[in-house]
Structure 1
């Protein structure tokens, strides 16, 4: 469009501005066609200054584009390398987990109480490492776009019930009550159901992990053309600063004991953002946490 306007209006300009416009058009044509511009050495000082300015701007733009392409290639290489290494780590880790379970189940013969304590420590540490690895793989593989999202309408109540069934198996403390509160009428969302399921399982399992007593509640609300999944607990809460931080930041007070990678919340935030949703956290130390995942419904989806 810019080149077309230059061609149309250049003949209407006075002599000096017309020569400048012709220079700009020639430089633009040359850059687009990948050739050296045809510049008359006898042109005046103003024209030469314009040429230098335009050539400098074009060179800077080309350098910026080369840097962008190189950075994107380096980022993709790094992502592929990290994914490959993470998958390689899983192989020996699976062996550690599997054989420690074989010994704990006394398949190869009885073990002493002291050996059981040691094996349980090995198995628990391996489980924790496996969780960290899963979080890392999810974070790296998500990338920064929605190309991997498989969007379709899905029932909010059905997803709520499914996550509830999964979470009941994670609730191991008699002092913690897990509750699912389903709405009277269904809320139909539009998006990638599997990824939102991952978000909710992550949030609920995290709440169950850190809540020592009281309750963890998973619920669903409708707000106009948006639906909101809510996870609230009576756990230790979290400070404001970590909630605003990015990846690899531990968010709960118990993380001071060495539990948690800080990846879970980063993964949740990324998926919700790519789902055209919003994540809201209300919490303070010692007063529990309320996390809202607001998402577009079928009625309110963006084209």
Structure 2
């Protein structure tokens, strides 16, 4: 697999955010597992495309990748050190400080000077750690448990509550840095990103999507099977429905913490048969009366 997100998406390095977003949506519609059941190659390509988009869609991550600071997975790349970096740190050097020895751990220094006495027995809560986890749209809506790979290569299972939003931060208590001298550990703070879906769109707690309807069902009315974010359901089509008609499915949107849910709004698109139907053509010709 290429480690260049630009090559994976097939865009130039100076592509605009809108170009990147448009290209991703086109590829997602083509490769999404929901639209390619059983196609493992398409599923793998979709994962690679999503990972590339996750990076390039974030201006800060994109800039850091372009500068060579992180790889496509967002992992820090080792910084090459030169003699000048050590002997003459500049003001903007990552480890430069005008505070003298402020970067030393005073507790450790005192403990070493006084043979373990001093402040070395101070209890200190562990530091919080920050991570980024990007989710598929349906995992964020319906909830899931997803692994998060930590910098040391271990994984952490993260429970995603139903209705999780883009930009939300999940707190995993006690999963941060260990505490000192028996103090409690810090927490893991996980910033959530949500990949766009090729079919569904979220607006608050409501879901919007389009649904094709056969011509005869649109005219005569009937019931059709549809795939909603919460799962398959049956949709009742009123007689004489036209393209653009919006039907509301109450409570079939995004779950809320109180046990309720938003609504789903389905925009109907009238679909003609895949192949020409002479009988349908004759019926339309007989029905049509020129003015």
Q: TM-score, normalization: structure 1?
A: 0.20
Provide TM-score, normalisation by structure 2.
Answer: 0.21
Which protein has the bigger strand share?
2
> By percentage of residues, which structure has more helix?
1
